[in-house]
Structure 1
Amino acid sequence: MYHIMEALGARVYIKDGKVVKVEDTKLEYCPIYDKHRGIKKIDKDKIRENIEFRIKEFGLFTKNRKVIEDKYIVPFGASEILMSALKHKALDCAVVVADCAGTVITSNPYLVQGLCGRISGIIKTYPIKEVIERIEKHGGYVLNKDTAEINQFEGVKKAIELGYKRIAVTVTNSKDAKKIKSLENGDIKILTFGVHLINIDKIEHFDIITACASKKTREVKPKLQIGKTIPIFALTDFGKNIILERVKDLDNVLITLEKLPVLSENQPKPLL
């Protein structure tokens, strides 16, 4: 069994806390990794080094996994936005994906930040008992403790069964977003947050999206935009209001009116 995570455009295979395989990537440059890790040219060795750093420092894919964090990694990341929205009670819970546990439901903002702030796109994972117990201790509900299944639709269904009404869910494609939105009714409101959207061919049924290194995401007409290099876009009023909850926790924020999207020259290369 392997944990499989997509990072910097490549699939990375991890077993027993070791990176065992890194596939080829089409991505050559990412401004976030340049800023935070000084990576000017992405290749398989740099990707391996980055994942090994995350394993060593934060325990990803191991029984030593840190699950709680109250500091932000970037001002406006998916985990940071959800953390603030939960703190300010704009959302009741979030349905997220965690290595070693799969789909997790929680109302704890710091568990969301701890589980999601350091990961990329988790494709497959297997259960690690110590991590699951730590998640549960901090108010997380693991959808399937035996298999660490990743199933965001079933996660939202379970969140509704648990009594949550304003539910955020991270999702990686329009098909799943549409299916999840079908669970909304007069009492249930679901925020679909599109993450890890490289190579996506359709942008529909999302409230918020991260642009990643995706060409398609940069063609949307958003209601609100955060950032210009790897932007986050609110596509609905619900999404806009949730992003504004994050603004409440930050200083030195400039708000202005522009025709969106507005992109800097410093984009990921190439856009996929």
Structure 2
Amino acid sequence: MIPQREAGKKEGLLHMSENEDDIHVIEAVGRSKIVIKNGKVAEVSVSKLRHCPLAKKFALPIDEITPDAVKANIEHRMNSWGMCHPHRKISGSVDFVGFGASELISCGILSGSLDAAVLACDGAGTVIVTTPEMVQGIGGRMSGLVSTSPLKEEMDRIEQDGGIVLDRAHATIDPVLGVSRAYERGFSHVAVTVASADVAAAIHAKHPYTFIFGVHMSGITEADAQHLVEVADIITACASKWIWQIAGAKALLQAGTAVPVFALTKRGKQLILDKIARSDRPVLVSGSKLPVYGPELPDPLL
């Protein structure tokens, strides 16, 4: 059942619940902060975006970015596949976007160029995943996870299906430790999704061969964008003006023109080409100076 909305706003947040036992915090649609408490959307902050072409393609599209529209979209994710609930779906095979992080990492595991992925999962925190189905099930419709509470039933199913939960007691999000644990478990071609320049740098310094995928880049600083570009293999542009400018200028390949991903290394480029090769969709390949801006972009670029 979709929770009933309560009227009224306070300090830019839409308040729905006061229960604080089970709390998950995510960012979506231009760093709108969403707090989910005990299975209900409790807070939704005002997005910094007015328009996003990707949001218009969500399973529940967001045409006008308002707290109510974001709340409805999050509720749809919660009701359709159990986000932030114990019965959350953890496996999937449907591509939600052409070149998303989970779609590309799934392709890498399927092709054998990757053998493990370190991801953040609501209800479980940092997890190590070894199958393309679980990569897509966890990441396909997930936004930026800031913090989460442990959900035992979900963690049980992840582990029963071959995944590794880093911290069952607290559902800690720690990609640096997750990558270290993956190598300790014997994996040799590890991918990780990161949303922080400091985290990416720490992983690269400790495990320089890790495949680093930068995600949730909207609103990052110029300095952080520069640092990420120095260590990442692929970065999503999101609504970041600095990723567009800095990563776009260095990229070996750009996939998409509205909310693209930029391949910054040869193996990042190869992963995108592998994904294209496995797809039946028609593709235009054309040499060009990058970045290439499409007619419709997130507005504003942050």
Q: Give 1:243's aligned residue.
A: 272
Q: Structure 1 residue 253: deviation in Å? A: 2.0
Where 1:182 maps in the other structure, the secondary structure is helix
Q: Which residue of the partner structure matches residue 218 of structure 1?
A: 244
Give the alignment partner of residue 253 of structure 1, picking from 266, 275, 283.
283
Question: 1:34 is matched with which residue?
Answer: 56
Matches within 5 A, 1:9-24: 9-24=31-46
8 Å Cα contact 2:255-2:261 kept in structure 1: yes
Q: Which residue of 2 aligns with 1:65?
A: 88
- Indicate whether 1:52 and 2:75 are aligned: yes
1:25 lines up with 2:47 in the alignment: yes
Does residue 1:267 correspond to 2:297, yes or no?
yes
Say which of 248, 259, 262 aligns to 1:233.
262
Aligned 8 A contact 1:90 1:245 in 2: no
Pairs within 5 Å for 1:91-110: 91-110=114-133
Q: Which amino acid aligns with 2:72?
A: E
Q: How many residues align?
A: 269
In 2: Cα distance, 1:64 partner to 1:112 partner: 17
Structure number, greater radius of gyration: 2
Per-residue Cα deviation, 1:210-247 (whole angstroms, up to 9, x for no partner): 01111111002211110000000001112112222211
Q: What residue number does 2:25 align with?
A: 4
Question: Deviation above 6 Å: which 4+ runs of structure 1?
Answer: none
Q: Is 2:150 the counterpart of 1:130?
A: no
- Aligned-residue offset at 1:26: 1.2
Q: Which moved more, 1:116-125 or 1:68-77?
A: 68-77
What residue is the counterpart of 1:157 in the other structure? 180
1:256 shift after superposition = 1.6
Gaps of 5+ in 1: none
**2: CA distance between counterparts of 1:80 and 1:194?**
14
Match of 2:9 in 1: none
RMSD: 1.1
Per-residue deviation, 1:35: 3.0
2:199 maps to which of 176, 186, 205:
176
Q: Which deviates the most, 252-261 or 80-89?
A: 252-261
Structure 2 CA distance for aligned equivalents of residues 249 and 5 of structure 1:
32
8 Å contact from structure 1 (residues 209, 234) kept in 2: yes
- Of the three residues 99, 109, 112, the one matched with 1:89 is 112
SS at match of 1:216: helix
Q: Distance in 1 between matches of 2:277 and 2:134?
A: 20
| C-alpha contact (below 8 Å) 1:108/1:138 kept by paired residues | no
Which residue identity does 2:46 align to in structure 1? Answer: D
Under a length normalisation based on structure 2, what TM-score does the superposition of the two structures give?
0.87
Partner of 1:192, secondary structure, is strand
C-alpha separation in 2, matches of 1:45 and 1:65: 23
Cα distance between partner residues in 2 of 1:230 and 1:140: 30
**SS of structure 2 residue aligned to 1:169:** strand
Is contact 1:34–1:40 with CA below 8 Å preserved after alignment?
Answer: yes
Q: 1:192 aligns with which of 212, 235, 257?
A: 212
Question: Which letter does structure 2 place at the counterpart of 1:6?
Answer: E
Q: Which range moves more in the overlay, 59-68 or 8-17?
A: 8-17
Unpaired stretches in structure 2, ≥5 consecutive residues = 1-21
Secondary structure (helix, strand or coil) at the match of 2:43 reads: strand
Amino acid at match of 2:87: N
